[in-house]
Each structure stands twice: as structure tokens, then as C-alpha cells.
Amino acid sequence: MEHVNRDPKETRPAVLTMALVLVLGLAGLFGPTVSEAAVVGVTATPGVRSVPLGRAGNVAMVWNVTRDVSTGGGATVSSASGSFRAGSPTGTLLATVARPLSQTRPPVGVTIFAFRESVLVPSRVIYRAHKLGVDRIYFVRSFDDGVAASTGAVALSITGSGAGSFGVTRLALSFGDGSVIAVAQPDSPLQAVAQITVSGSGLLQAVWEVADAAGTAGTPAFRPLQTVRRYVNGREPLRLESPPLPTRLLGLHLVRLRITQPAADFELPQLRYFVRAESAQAPVAALSLEAPAPDAVLQAETEFAWRAVPETRAYRLEIRALDDDGGRATTGLVVDGRRSAASLSAVTRDHLRAGGRYRWRVLAIDDQGRVVARSDWREIRTP
């Protein structure tokens, strides 16, 4: 038999081919292959939107998620939450939107999932990004199908708060005499008043709503009283009067003006009023205040606290200018009777002038609208 000496280089392609087959075979046994499904891309439409500095902005978008589905069962793509980032999709985290998105479709080749979403960008998020020195916020979402994930982002350009930006910046409610809580006789007239400040100009849409006594024990069940549609501009505050409030049923009632357009980025206030038959007023007990100390300086984090009074349905915190001897409080709030402390919201603090001197007190009110306890006045200052 003839022995042939072969050049070692001639055997190298065969060795490499065998090694490649072995590697691909092991990959098929121990890991995902190119035929498995996977999210391969996320794009958003539109890619850039604008939000105004100084107020909240609504942003609508469509997430287009591409998933390569070659084999396997149903295809589910989901996103657990979104996030606002400053300056870039990986910049400083400003806030999280804990709203999940999910879709399931049969796998047919390359599948595109379209997720429609509308997001309210809070004014505090826009302001914080502005303070960080960036002119863009990114709303970011990561979509996952259990095999792979991909991330998309919508750029939000921060614009000035000019006349073209329409939004509600302040809403204050009171009754006709300026109070934030009222007691009415059955079938007597009663109205609420809304003072609204807006930025820009546009069509304001809102609904006056009331929750009757039967619906205020648990979660209030509001029903509409009147729809409001008014074209407004930011040059002067808007004053709206409610329709006559129902006073037939005895007990506690709630009233509010629910603004539907444009969206407000703050909690909408509510008024409380009691309807009760005329009866002898029981003696008013003393209510003890606990904080803040006399002549304290009011801060955003200041908490007003008092000693709880049994059988109280609500507490009324009144704040009045020190030199005001009239019967109308400058501002205040109403707190559920199960609480014995409260802080003033930014909207409530806006009623107080800087460097002013005020006095405050707390009244305890029972389920018939009667004042059953009252504190002494205590002084407080604004910075």
C-alpha cells in the first residue's frame, strides 16, 4: 500500500468545520438559538414632544415593539413601568409611572406590537429637570418577552410657560361667605364658589359634583350637578358659582368641581357641609393643640396636631390674619375625624402672604354638623 504524506494545511478546513458543527450543536442544547422569539427593537411615535415649564403636560404616544417570532407558543410582550429621566434615556431618575402594559399575540414570523399610552408629566418633574440644567426629559420604557428585552424613549422638550401653554395652576373652593365648611337647615339655599387661576388660554371643562350623606360613610359616591364649559385666559382669575346644592337629606355632604380639561397635576379640593334640623346646641368642649408651638414659622413640612375628640366626624383648621377680627377665615382645611394632624398643601399656603402674622385654631364637628369642641387661637408666622 502506498503511503501518502499530506500537507497539514489541507486538513485544517475539515477540522474547523467539525468544530463549528460541535459548537452550534452544544448551543442548541444549552442556550437559545437564533430561531427563538425575542424582542428586537422598540420605537416610539412621535419621537419628540414638548412639555411646558410651570405646569403639567399630557403626552400621547404609541410604542411599536418588534418581536421576532419564529417558533414556539403564544407571544406575550409586557412593560412593568415607565420612568422619567433627565437629559438622556439613562439620566437622573425623576419619577416612575407604575402602569403596566401587556399584549399577547399568536407567533407569526416578525410581529409588531403597538401600545398606545397617554402620560401626565407632573409640573414638579418638569421643574426638577429644569433645575438640573437640562432642556429635555425622556420617558423611558423597557419591553420584555421573557427571552430578551429592549428599551425605547420619547424625548420631551421643555418649553417656556408662555401664553400658548394652557393649564390650571390653582383651584380654591369656598361657600358664599368664604368658609370652607357649612351647616345648613333642610331645604335651605346653599352654593359653592370656585376661584380658578389658569396659564395660557383655552376651553375649560369641568363638572360640579356632590356626594350625599348616604355616600360619604366609605368611598364618596359623587353624582354630577352641572357641566361647565368656559373659554378662559390667564389674564384674570375665573370665578364660578355652583348650582344650588342639595339640602334635603340630613347629614354630611361633599361637593367638588372636577376639572376634566385641561388636566390638573394637583389634588382637587373638596368642601364639606352638614344638613341638620334646628336643635339646641350642646356645650362646646375645649380642644387641646399640640403643634406647632406658639409663634412658630410656617414651613412646607409644618404639621398641625391636636388631641383627638371622641365622636368627631371632621376637624376644621382655621387660619386668620392676626389683625382680622371679622368672621371669615383667611384659609384653612377640613380633616377626617379619624385624624388628629394635618399639613397645609401648597395651594392652601398660597393664601398666606410672605412675612405675615396669623393665628389658627381647630374645631371638632360631629356627624350632625355641630361644633362639639374648639381650641384657643395660637399665633404662627410665614417666612
Average pLDDT of adjacent 10-residue blocks, the chain of 383 residues: 44 36 34 50 82 79 80 72 94 92 76 86 87 90 87 87 64 81 84 87 88 65 92 80 91 89 77 76 85 92 93 87 64 84 82 87 83 92 91
pLDDT of residue 309: 93
Domains, the chain, with CATH or none = 38-159 (2.60.40.10), 167-275 (2.60.40.10), 285-381 (2.60.40.10)
pLDDT of residue 19: 34
Residue ranges with strand state E in 223-356: 223-233, 238-241, 251-261, 271-275, 285-286, 289-291, 296-297, 303-306, 314-321, 331-336, 341-343
Q: Starting at the edge strand that comes first in sequence, how are the strands of the sheet with 238-241 ordered?
A: 167-175, 192-199, 238-241
pTM for this structure?
0.45
Please, is 302 exposed, middle or buried when counting C-beta atoms within 10 Å of its C-beta (0-12, 13-18, 19+)? middle
pLDDT of residue 4: 41
pLDDT of residue 21: 32
Please, is 279 exposed, middle or buried when counting C-beta atoms within 10 Å of its C-beta (0-12, 13-18, 19+)? exposed
Please give the full DSSP string across 284-308, using - where no structure is assigned: PEE--EEESPTTEEP-TT-EEEE--
Tell me how far apart the alpha carbons of residues 34 and 17 are, in angstroms, rounded to a whole number. 19
Tell me how far apart the alpha carbons of residues 195 and 8 are, in angstroms, rounded to a whole number. 93
Handedness of CA 221, 329, 344, 194 (dihedral sign): positive
